[in-house]
Amino acid sequence: SSANSEVPAPVSRASGSAFEGKTAVAIAAGIGHSLALCSDGTVLAWGDNTYGQLGTNTTVGSNIPVAVNMASGVSALHGKNVVAIAAGGYHSLATCSDGTLVAWGANWYGELGDETTTHRPCPVVVNSTLAGSSLLGRTVVGIAAGEYHSLAKCSDGTIATWGWNGSGQLGDGSSAQRLIPVPVSTTAMGTEERFAMVVSGSTSGHTMALVAASPQPFPVVAVEAQGDSPLSNGV
């Protein structure tokens, strides 16, 4: 329904709901839409869809869960297994087991990272191949979304950001919007420090990151042989 509720209400799993027979393992919420990642690697969405944020290749909203489009030749999620999701104000993000990062929905400021400002009602790939993309050659291990910007934490401890930057939320030392991922500045960090986590919120115009020191290598201790006597275990 579209009725407000003052107590928790179960998301529909009735016949006709794409949630029927599935198990949710992760969730995310935008300003007017919701996402659920299922154990089979598919993504469900429901709510407002004015800008295609449900990823169904339409702009028709739904008050029950619908499947994010994974059709061949239409969706960047075709043949993919989704492992993480995030919801911005009016857009959505997902990472796949093969490292692909995709986005869909509103794209006023380049928050989809596909080098355009065109709204996308179906998943498209966030650009990681252009020479100017800070995702080039990197592996994404975490994602987050603000109201009009997107973020990716990479395995090497760097963070990439794109989209609206009017308040400096991309952290690249400017206030210019970015249509493809750019690196967050590390000038305030120590030489051994790396980004460990990044977060934002669906109505947020700012970003937060957790910084940690790089793990130290395990020390190697030399052991001198003491004659030819075997150890107590016979080795």
Give mean pLDDT, residues 76-101.
97
The Cα–Cα gap between 203 and 90 comes to 10
Pick from 38, 48, 47: which is nearest to 70 by CA? 38
Q: Has residue 143 got a pLDDT over 80?
A: yes
pLDDT for 166-196, tens place per residue? 999 999 999 999 999 999 999 999 999 999 9
Q: Has residue 220 got a pLDDT over 90?
A: no
Q: How many CB atoms lie within 10 A of CB 231?
A: 7
Res 235: pLDDT = 45
Q: What totals of helices (H) and strands (E) does the chain contain, helices first?
A: 0, 14
Question: Using 50, 70 and 90 to split pLDDT, how confident is the model at 115?
Answer: very high
Res 214: pLDDT = 72
Res 223: pLDDT = 53
Cα torsion through 208, 213, 217, 218, rounded to 10: -100
Pick from 34, 77, 81, 27: which is nearest to 53 by CA? 34
Assigned token pair, 146: 């603000």
Compute the Cα dihedral for 116, 72, 43, 80 and give only its sign.
negative
Question: Using 50, 70 and 90 to split pLDDT, how confident is the model at 231?
Answer: very low
pLDDT for 21-67, tens place per residue? 999 999 999 999 999 999 999 999 999 999 999 999 999 999 999 99
Counting residues of the chain whose pLDDT is more than 70, the rounded percentage is 91
